[in-house]
Structure 1
Amino acid sequence: MATPSSDALKRRFSDFATLGEALDYAATGTLGLNFHDPRGQLVRGYSYRELRENALAQARRMIDAGVAPGDRIALVAETGAEFASLFFGVVYAGGWPVPLPLPTSFGGRESYIDQLGVQLKSCDPKMLFYPAELASMAGEAARIAGVEGIEWEAFETRPAPEVPLPAAQTDDIAYLQYSSGSTRFPHGVAITHRALLNNLAAHAHGMALIEGDRCVSWLPWYHDMGLVGCFLSPVANQVSVDYLKTEDFARRPLAWLELISRNPGTTLSYSPTFGYDICARRMSSQTKASDRFDLSRWRVAGNGADMIRPDVMQKFVDAFADAGFKASAFLPSYGLAEATLAVSIMPPGEGIVVELVEETQLSGMSADGDRPQRYRSIVNCGRPVRDMEVQIREEDGTPLPDKAIGKVWCRGPSVMVGYFRDTAATEACLRDGWLDTGDMGYLSDGYVYIVGRAKDMIIVNGRNHWPQDIEWAVEQLPGFKAGDIAAFAITTPGGEETPAVLVQCRTSDDAERTRLRDEIRERVRSVTGMNCVIELVPPRTLPRTSSGKLSRAKARNLYLAGEIKPYDIAA
Structure 2
Amino acid sequence: MIRSETLTQALDAATARADGGYSHLVQEKDPVKFFSYAETARRARRFGAALQAAGVRPGERVGLILPDSSEFVEAIYGAMYAGAIAVPVYPPMNLGQFEGYLANTTHILRQAGCSLVVTDGKVRPILGRLMSNVPSVRAVEVYASFVKQVDERAAPIGVDVKPDDVAFLQFTSGSTSRPKGVTLTHANLIANVYALGAGLNTSEDTYGLSWLPLYHDMGLIGFVFTPAVLQVRGVQFMSPLLFLKRPALWLRQLSERKAHVSFAPNFAYGLCTARIKDHELQGVDLSHLRVAGCGAEPIQYDTLNAFAERFAAWGFRRTAFLPCYGMAEHSLAVTFVGLDEDLRADKVDADALVHGEAKPSEADDALKVVCCGRTFPGHELRIVDAEGNPLPERRVGQIELRGPSVMRGYWGDAERTLQVLRDGWLATGDLGYLVDGELYVCGRIKDLIIIHGRNYYPQDLEWQASQVEGVRKGNVVAFGIEDASLGRERVIVAAEVRTPHADDLRDKIAAKILETLALKPDEIVLLPPGSLPKTSSGKLQRNKTSELYRDGQLGKGAVKAGTIDVIKHLATSRWSYIRAAFGSRDAED
For 2:444, the equivalent position in structure 1 comes to 453
Partner of 2:70: 81
Equivalent position of 1:316 in the other structure = 307
Matches within 5 A, 1:138-157: 138-146=127-135, 147=137, 148-157=139-148
Distance across 2 between alignment mates of 1:523 and 1:41: 46
Partner deviation per Cα, 1:270-318 (whole Å, 9 max, x = no partner)? 11111111111123x53495x3411010011111111111101111111
Deviations 1:448-490 (A, max 9, x none): 1111111111112221111111111111111223332110001
Cα displacement string for residues 410-434 of structure 1 (whole angstroms, at most 9, x for unaligned residues)? 1000100000010110000101111
Residues 253-272 of structure 1 mapped to structure 2, 5 A cutoff? 253-264=247-258, 266-272=259-265
Equivalent in 481, 494, 501 of residue 493 of structure 2: 501
Taking the aligned partners of 2:464 and 2:96, their CA distance within structure 1 comes to 28
Deviations 1:334-373 (A, max 9, x none): 10000000110111101311111111332126899xxx99
Asked if 1 retains the 8 angstrom alpha-carbon contact of 2:294 and 2:322, the reply is yes
Aligned equivalents of 1:442 and 1:562: distance in 2? Answer: 37
Instruction: Answer yes or no: is 1:28 the counterpart of 2:20.
Output: no
2:237 alignment partner in structure 1: 243
1:479 equivalent to 2:470? Answer yes
- Displacement of 1:320 in angstroms is 0.7
Moved over 3 A (4+): 40-43, 104-107, 160-163, 285-289, 365-368
Hey, what's the Cα distance between the residues in 1 that align with 2:271 and 2:388? 40
Q: Does 1:542 align with 2:544?
A: no
2:452 & 2:95 partners in 1: Cα distance?
35
Contact 1:76/1:100 (8 A) holds in 2: yes
Question: Per the alignment, in what secondary structure is the counterpart of residue 193 of structure 2?
Answer: helix
Report the CA distance between 1:538 and its aligned residue.
1.9
Contact 1:470–1:487 (CA under 8 A) maintained in structure 2: yes
- SS of the residue corresponding to residue 46 of structure 1 reads strand
Tell me which residue corresponds to 1:213: 206
Do the aligned residues in 1 keep the contact of 2:492 with 2:521 (CA within 8 Å)?
no
Query: What are the superposed Cα offsets for residues 66-91 of structure 1, whole Å, 9 maximum, x if unpaired?
Result: 11111011101424221111111110
The alpha-carbon deviation at position 162 of structure 1 amounts to: 6.2
Higher mean C-alpha displacement, 195-204 vs 473-482: 473-482
SS of equivalent residue, structure 2 residue 45: helix
1:163–1:505 Cα change, 3 Å:
closer
Amino acid at match of 1:564: L
Between Structure 1 and Structure 2, how many residues are aligned? 546
Q: Distance in 1 between matches of 2:188 and 2:358?
A: 43
Question: Does residue 252 of structure 2 align to residue 252 of structure 1?
Answer: no
* 2:459 aligned residue (468, 472, 496): 468
Distance 1:531 1:406 in 2: 25
Is contact 1:79–1:220 with CA below 8 Å preserved after alignment?
Answer: no
Gapped runs of 5+ residues in structure 1? Answer: 1-10
Contact 1:458 1:466 in 2 (8 A): yes
Structure 2 unaligned regions, length at least 5 = 558-589
Secondary structure (helix, strand or coil) at the match of 1:439 reads strand
| TM-score, normalising length: structure 1 | 0.92
Q: 2:82 aligns with which of 93, 108, 115?
A: 93
Partner of 2:111 in structure 1? 122
Would you say the 8 A contact 2:248–2:280 is kept in 1?
no
Deviation at 1:402, TM superposition (A): 1.6
1:541 partner amino acid:
S
**SS state at 1:484 partner:** strand
1:342 is the counterpart of 2:333: yes
Q: In the TM superposition, what is the alpha-carbon distance from 1:27 to its structure 2 partner?
A: 1.1
Contact 1:40 1:258 in 2 (8 A): no
Which of these residues, 530, 550, 555, is aligned with residue 545 of structure 2?
A: 555
The answer to whether the 8 A contact 1:190-1:417 is kept is yes
Q: Secondary structure at the match of 2:369?
A: strand
CA distance in structure 2 between the partners assigned to 1:102 and 1:153 by the alignment: 16
The aligned counterpart of 1:6 is none
Following superposition, the deviation at residue 393 of structure 1 comes to 0.5
Aligned residue runs from structure 1 range 36-435, under 5 A: 36-39=25-28, 41-105=30-94, 108-146=97-135, 147=137, 148-160=139-151, 164-182=157-175, 185-239=178-232, 240-264=234-258, 266-283=259-276, 285-287=277-279, 289=281, 291-364=282-355, 374-435=365-426
Partner SS state of residue 16, structure 1: coil
Q: Give SS of 2:461's match.
A: helix
In the other structure, the counterpart of 2:567 is none
C-alpha deviations, 1:499-557, integer Å up to 9, x for none?
A: 1011112226x4xx221112222222322432421111221000111110111111111
Q: 2: CA distance between counterparts of 1:105 and 1:58?
A: 28
1:566 Cα deviation (Å)?
Answer: 7.7
The alignment yields a C-alpha RMSD, in angstroms, of 2.1
Q: Alpha-carbon deviations, 1:45-85, whole Å to 9, x = none?
A: 01110111111111111112111111011101424221111
Residue type of the alignment partner of 2:28: R
Deviation at 1:112? Answer: 1.2
2: CA distance, partners of 1:162 / 1:534: 59
Opposite residue 535 of structure 2, the aligned amino acid is T
Distance 1:518 1:367 in 2: 30
Amino acid at match of 1:29: R
Alpha carbons of structure 1 residues 414 and 366: separation in structure 2 relative to 1, 3 Å: closer
Counterpart in 2 of 1:4? none
Pair 1:162–1:383, CA change in 2 (3 A): closer
Deviation of residue 105 (structure 1)?
4.2
Tell me, in whole angstroms, the C-alpha distance in 1 between the residues paired with 2:442 and 2:115: 41
Query: Residues 427 and 162 (structure 1 numbering): CA distance in 2 closer, same or farther, change over 3 Å?
Result: closer
Counterpart code for 1:468: Q
CA–CA separation in structure 1 for the residues paired with 2:312 and 2:169? 40
CA distance, structure 1, for counterparts of residue 253 and residue 112 of structure 2? 36
- In the alignment, does 2:518 pair up with 1:525? no
Distance across 2 between alignment mates of 1:174 and 1:409: 24
Deviation at 1:565, TM superposition (A): 4.0
Residue type at the aligned position of 1:335: G
Deviation at 1:211, TM superposition (A): 2.9
Contact 2:112 2:181 in 1 (8 A): yes
**1:507 counterpart letter in structure 2:** T
Q: Quick one: which amino acid aligns to residue 24 of structure 1?
A: D
Q: Matched residue of 2:178: which SS?
A: coil
Distance change (3 Å), C-alpha of 1:366 and 1:111: closer
